[in-house]
A and B are shown apart, each in its own frame.
Chain A
Amino acid sequence: MRVTRGVKITAGAALLALAVAACGGGGGSDNSGSGSAAQPVRIEIAEPQNDLIPGNTGETSGAEVLNALFIGLVDYDDQKKPVNRIAESIDSTDQTTWTIKLKDGYTWHDGTPVTAQNFVDSWNYTAFGPNQQQSNYFFSVFKGYDAMNPQDPDGEEGPKKAPEPTATTLSGLKAVDDKTISVELTHPYSGFPTMLGYTAFYPLPKAAFESEGKMKADYGSNPIGDGPFKMSKPYKRGTDQTVEMARFDGFKEGKAKVDALQYKIYTDLNTAYNDLRAGNLDIMDQLPPEQIGGAKAEFGDRYIEQPSSGIGWLGFNIKSGDTYAKSRELRTAISMSIDRATITDKVFSGTRVPADDNISPVVAGYRKGACGEACTFDPAKAKSLWESNGGKGVKSIDLSYNADGAHKEWMEAVANNIRTNLQVEVNVKPYEKFADILNDLGDGKVKGAFRMAWIMDYPSPENYLRPIFGTGGSSNYVQYSNKEFDELLNKGDSAASLDEGVQFYQQADDLALKEMAYVPIYFYTTNGAFSANVKNVKIDPFERIDVFHVERA
């Protein structure tokens, strides 16, 4: 049995290939996992969708990165109430005209002080329609927004183009002096200070602009911020797998506990989770649902579980839909036939909790059990309510959803619940993409039930009501329109303070809950975990990691 030459050659080549592979360790990083001082704290994100510009960042990964680079006028405490950061005070006598005073001592990473003009420049840039900033709509409460965003006379489909804007700045926004901003809104709004903690309201430095109102092309890849960390090298979106940051020592509120951060971009949560287990990653603020059980056991007190701001509904087309969609009693019967507890437990492995209000538990103003009997699983009652209101005449129920999110399993589970408990045929209708279903909803083509979700923009009950139930609201796909409801929202808005406004919001919420146009199904939870290299990891209601207080273990 002599070894033939061919085999010898190939065996030699194999060894050679392995040897080459083994010594080619170019650009290798220290993966010892011991948390040495040279190693940054590594945080998992998905790829930010847009350049790192506050007004154009509407998704969690981009917001996570900007949260380390920037701070705004306010932040939120454990009660989700706004607390001042750069703002010294935010005052108003009539809730329409606001005066914002700034603190001294905050500086940009390039050393220049943060001034009132920086906020004005940033907000004007985002509010100007032609700049195509995703968070543009936040500024619609400002006076002068309409002149910067003229409406297309015959809709987006029509041949006519929208007229050119007649203004490049918000008429209701002025920097009175270096430390004072005056704001005029289109209507009284007590929740205004609460809005100001959102990413879209960060300031921008003079260095971001080439000329008046024109941003430098490369600012979004290497932003100069005013937060506890600064960019240590430009981030090339689409090519780079990491965003690298170093501590900014000139930060007024003190030094962050760690000297470097590295945001690692992953396309698959399972991959990131394996890296976390192997010690090549330090913090994840969302885990793959199928790994939750294992994570609890493996990470112990380094596993984080807390409520998050998201809510999932089942919506009905109550104006032009099928018979069951138009009847409040039949909608309530459908709601009562859904076993929320089993679905959140079995389908979502506990990453969701049954919903009992339209307002998320993370917001001041949430009431446990606000929805009452209508959101409680009771198959017997559901069936009698269904049959006493003509449910027997319903041929079939449609449930539409978008298949590009992980919705198939729970929609099938809901369909089974309804089928079994109401003895009616249920068809599940997947749409390929979320955008497709939104188009059909906008055109009123969805006649039955559909799934919808909402993640808050800022922690106010109003943010869970106006866009969803308000007349003409941006996500009001159920066509709900109720004068009394709108008036209650306006009362809440013009209350002297947020706390006084809450009761009006809750009354409005009760109206919406009684209507059952959107049926609350579940609240989201945040599930995270961190490695043994770090400690003191906190996640805020926006699902952002508090990087200022993270320490090396």
Chain B
Amino acid sequence: MGRYVIRRLLQAIPVLVGTTFLLFATVYALPGDPIAALGGDRRLDPQLVSRMREQFHLNDPLLVQYWYYLRDIVSGDFGTTFRGVPVSSLFQGKFQVTFQLSVTALVFEAVIGVGLGLWAALRRGRWQDQAVLAVTLLLVSIPTLVSGFVLQLVLGVKLKQNTGIDFFPVAGIQNGMRSYLVPGLVLAGLSIAYLTRLTRTSLMETLRADYIRTAVAKGMSRRRVLGRHALRNSLIPLITYLGADLGTLMGGAIITETIFNLPGIGQQLFQSVYLRENAVVVGIVTVLVLVYILANLIVDLLYAVLDPRIRYE
């Protein structure tokens, strides 16, 4: 088991080096001059531009720039943005914000998605099942932009204006965990729908298995059949989905973070790609790749917990 984990982590190293270079090359290939863009609506003095290009090695070929970047990384210097903010300080707190948001969303997904799915599976073919289907279709078809602004307006602004209840903040993270409730729900929307369908299918399939029939035939109570045999076995695809989703949520919460003004990593990544801040983009995505790798590893290890037949040697 321990050796398996170490082997998996070692495999991550070439993946990381590969991704950083690919990313570096992609951002390098973007058109336009990032330094000239710093002036906004004003044209910067050509002297200033050429000085800054020199400072950030922007006149050098791709491989030379990448070499400088790696050399600095190895000596523990993650570089600065074109606007002079150390990249390492940009990450402070931002990953934490996005992580909290993602975990809130995952909890909503697991609770609502799995709950609805189980209910639909146990009531399959009846009106409850149809109702759940309708709800999931609705969730899939509403874009985050719409659900985000509508919920912000209804729960953040209107509720307070009309009833004085001030439980859901409109934006920002000054209210601790409360700040993440609405954005977490918005972010979870699409995945809730997927998880519901996945749970329903998975459980129905398990319920048709031979060992379930055997368990029922030998007179085991319905509760034990469902809890011990059916549920445990149908969790495997769900865990897989949730694990992969953590990575997606961490990197893809751009719209939600913008609407709710959460200073997270998604927003930062979007701005950095836009400003062609190579050092920041590569830094962020490297961490995201690590999150993916770790999430996948944890999911694989959970398989063994859920299904005794799976062993890692």
**B177→A271 contact, CB < 8 A:** no
Say yes or no: A266 contacts B171, CB within 8 Å: yes
Q: Which of B51, B89, B261 is within 8 Å of A130, CB to CB?
A: B51
Question: In whole angstroms, how far apart are the Cα atoms of A274 and B268 in the complex?
Answer: 22
Which of A31, A152, A436 is within 8 Å of B169, CB to CB? A31
- B112 close to chain A: CB less than 8 A: yes
**Binary contact track B23-37/A, C-beta < 8 Å → 1, others 0:** 000000001111011
Q: Which of A10, A32, A264 contacts B172 (CB 8 A)?
A: A264
Residues of B contacting A: mostly: helix
User: Is there a chain A Cβ closer than 8 Å to B176's Cβ?
Assistant: yes
Q: Are B176 and A25 in contact (CB under 8 A)?
A: yes
Question: In the complex, what distance in Å separates the CA atom of A265 from the CA atom of B267?
Answer: 13
> Are B41 and A129 neighbours in the complex by a CB distance under 8 Å?
no
User: A297 at interface (Cβ–Cβ under 8 A)?
Assistant: no
**Which of A106-114, A131-139, A419-427, A495-503 forms contacts with chain B?**
A131-139
B104 touches A241 (CB 8 A): no
- For the complex, is B247 an interface residue (Cβ under 8 Å from A)? no
Residues of B with C-beta under 8 A to A264: 172
Q: B52 and A132: CB pair below 8 A?
A: yes
Binds A, one of B8-16, B150-158, B293-301, B304-312: B150-158
Q: Does B2 contact A (CB under 8 A)?
A: no
In the assembled complex, the Cα of A432 lies from the Cα of B54 at a distance in Å of 25
Q: Which of B45-90 contact A (CB under 8 A)?
A: 45-54, 81, 83-85, 89-90
Known: A156-B46, A267-B261, A277-B161. A28 touches B171 (CB 8 A): no
Interface contact B32-A433, CB-CB below 8 Å? yes
Question: A17 within 8 Å of B by Cβ?
Answer: yes
Per the bound structure, the CA–CA distance linking A149 and B49 in Å amounts to 13
Which residues, 82 to 139 on B, are CB-close (under 8 Å) to A? 83-85, 89-90, 92-94, 104, 107-108, 110-112, 114-115, 118-119, 122
Q: Is B21 an interface residue (CB 8 A)?
A: no
**Complex Cα gap A452–B231 (Å):** 64
**Interface size grouping (class) on chain A:** 35 or more
Bits for A266-293, please: 1 = Cβ < 8 Å to B, else 0.
Answer: 1110111011011110000000000000
Are A239 and B93 in contact, CB atoms less than 8 angstroms apart?
Answer: yes
Q: Is there contact, CB below 8 Å, between A239 and B48? A: no
Chain B: minimal CB distance from A518 (Å): 15
Q: In the docked arrangement, what's the CA distance between A2 and B226, Å?
A: 13
Find out whether the CB atom of B31 lies under 8 angstroms from the CB atom of A241. Answer: no
Nearest chain B residue, comparing its CB with the CB of A25: B176
Q: In whole angstroms, how far apart are the Cα atoms of A31 and B160 in the complex?
A: 11
What are 26 A-B pairs at a CB distance below 8 A? A5-B223, A6-B226, A14-B115, A22-B177, A25-B178, A29-B174, A32-B166, A33-B166, A50-B84, A51-B84, A129-B47, A132-B48, A134-B44, A152-B47, A236-B92, A239-B89, A239-B90, A239-B263, A265-B263, A266-B261, A267-B267, A270-B149, A274-B152, A275-B172, A435-B36, A439-B36
Residues of chain A having any CB pair with chain B under 8 Å: 2, 4-7, 10-11, 13-14, 17, 20-29, 31-33, 49-51, 58-59, 129-130, 132, 134, 136-137, 149, 151-152, 155-156, 161-162, 236-239, 241, 264-268, 270-272, 274-275, 277-280, 432-436, 438-439, 442, 453, 455, 474-475
